[in-house]
Each structure stands twice: as C-alpha cells, then as structure tokens.
Amino acid sequence: MSVALVFPMQGPAGMFGPTCELCARLAAEEVNRAGGVLGRELRLVPVDGGASPDRVAAEVEALVSVGAVHGVTGWHISSVRRALAPRVAHRVPYVYTALYEGGERTEGVFLTSETPADQLLPAMRLLAGERRVRGWFVVGNDYVWPRRTAEAARRYARRCRGRVVGECYLPLGTGDFSGALRAIERSGADAVIMLLVGSDAVRFNRAFAAAGLDQRCLRLSTLMDENMLLASGAAATGGLYSTAGFFASLATQENLDFHGQYAGRFGVEAPQLGSLGESCYEGVLLLAALIERAGTLDVRAIDAAAGAVWYEGPRGRLRLSGRHVRQRVYLAEADGLEFTVVAELPTPVGSP
C-alpha cells in the first residue's frame, strides 16, 4: 500500500523537509515491522508540498486517480491543504499534520496538530497574566493560516484585557522586514505574535534582535520549532516563546524513546528533531491506525470508525474527536538554541 507523503522540499518551509521525511520513514518502518497495513507493506511516495498549491493538488490527484497512492499525509501549509482536500479527501483518507487555523470539516480529512484555540488563547492568557502583556502586534505571512489566526488573536486579546495594536502581512519568501519592525516600534506593543513560516521567521528573528526590539518586546510563535531556533542563532532568541504539542526537550519516556529510535536509525548527525518532523511520524501512525480499524480503504467506512481510533507515539497515547487529535499543548521559552518548557497549557473546551 502506498501513501503520498506531502512535505516541503523548497520555499520558506523547505528547511523542515529533511526531518519531516526521516520521521515519516521511521514511522513507516515501525508499521511494517508490525505487519504493515491490512497485511500489505506501507510505502511512502514523496511529493513536494513546497510547490504552488494547485500544482501539489494536481500531482497528488493524479497519483490517486491512477491508483498509485491509497492515502495522503504530511506537513504542508494550509493553502496546500485547502487546494488538496476537495480533490482527494472523498477518495482516499488524508491525515493533515500541520498546525492550522481551525475549522476543517471535510469528510476524509483527519488532523493531528494544534489550532489557535489549543495554542494561542491559553498562551496569550499566561503571558498577559505573568508578563503583563496588553498590546499585541501580529506579523504573518499573507495567506489563510496567519490571517485567520489573527482574527482569533483579536478576540483572544480582548479576553486577556488587551488588544491587537497592529498587523502586518508579508509574502512568503520575504527578506526585508524593515517596514514591519518600524510599525512594531511605533505601536508600542508589548509582544509580537509571529505567524511566519520557516526561513521567513528565521530572518525576522535576526532582524528583530538586530533592531534591539528584543529588549522591550516579547515574541510568541505558534510555528517555531528547534530547527528554526537553531537557524535563528542564540543572539536572536531572547524573549522568544513558542507554543506547541511537542518539543524535543520534553522529558517523557515516550519522547526519550523516540529520540533513541531516531538517532539509532539515522545517526547523531541527522536533522534536528522538532514538532514539525514529529508530526509526520504521527501522521503515518494515525493513517495506518485509521485504515486498520476500518478494515478497508473506503473513506466513509474509515470516517465512521474514526471515533474509536487511537495510536501511541512520542506524545503518548492519543485519540481522535471530531476528526481532530486531542492533545496536550505546552508553552516553551527559548534559552539560546534550546527550548525550555515552562508550562502545560490548559485544555480548551469545545471543538477547534
């Protein structure tokens, strides 16, 4: 059985590609050691999720149409998911592993990662209470995930006795943040909500610190993993917070086992583990568990059985509810080139 693994091989998110692919391979090998999926070997078919959304969707649809793949998973931005889901989700199961803006209800789409209600609201509440943040400035790339998340941030800021004092959206691949930095400085913001992807966030971190804004303004990102932290450099990470369901530094037995398996398979020089790569590991495990539980590749049957599906990974045992994985989410603070988890965030009530 073959699965399209859609992950970025180019563009701002391309820096995540190697760890996404290796983590997915590790999971596929684990599934195959346990007997495969419906008694068949699981094979991954890599697809460049960093290409234009229409191009990615067309490539995956073609693979589905000729029977070359029987499922889809991987980390890719929301613009790709929105192009891809209507074309394939009713035909094959699709496990989307990236954090996203919330609200996905397409039949056949299952989601393993965080939404603003999981990440942003509880993190903003904590920083508002402990760091007295009142004014928030949003800097994001110009597409659906940052803009929809910013809509939520405006509501959340009011609930935290503050407000969003400014917003700035920039194309993917932006290298010049001077205008955004001037706007942040003029706004008097206490904290910046960063909704930037990959190398864009790295360049922003460096420019932010070079402008001295890290001395007076916090940063909170819902998309900042260990690879991005390393690329930013220790001098650019002061006052930087990240919120996610996984950090490489989490001191759990499941995470320690995951590190050992990853290093044992790919060596100590393998790409840095982080939340985005780990999500691809979970995506493969969940897709296999969904198909095994249903006993068929039929999307409607898989959807009907999904409520009883669970799997075990680096974040422990996780279950689906409303096609979304229910999970613990953490807030971490950058300490040079590492993240220190400072809190487990309260579990939100209600659906994403």
Tens digit of pLDDT per residue, the chain (352 long)? 999 999 999 999 999 999 999 999 999 999 999 999 999 999 999 999 999 999 999 999 999 999 999 999 999 999 999 999 999 999 999 999 999 999 999 999 999 999 999 999 999 999 999 999 999 999 999 999 999 999 999 999 999 999 999 999 999 999 999 999 999 999 999 999 999 999 999 999 999 999 999 999 999 999 999 999 999 999 999 999 999 999 999 989 999 999 999 999 999 999 999 999 999 999 999 999 999 999 999 999 999 999 999 999 999 999 998 899 989 999 999 999 999 999 999 976 544 4
pLDDT recorded at residue 262: 97
DSSP type of residue 90: T
Distance CA 77, CA 99 (A): 9
Distance CA 46, CA 49 (A): 9
Residues 63-85, buried b or exposed e (16+ Cβ, 10 A)?
Answer: bbeeeebbbbbbbbbbbbbbbbb
Distance CA 57, CA 303 (A): 22
DSSP type of residue 346: P
pLDDT recorded at residue 352: 44
H or E element: which one contains 342? strand 338-344
Three-state SS at 305:
helix
Cβ atoms of 102 and 119 within 8 Å: the answer is: no
Cβ atoms of 128 and 114 within 8 Å: the answer is: no
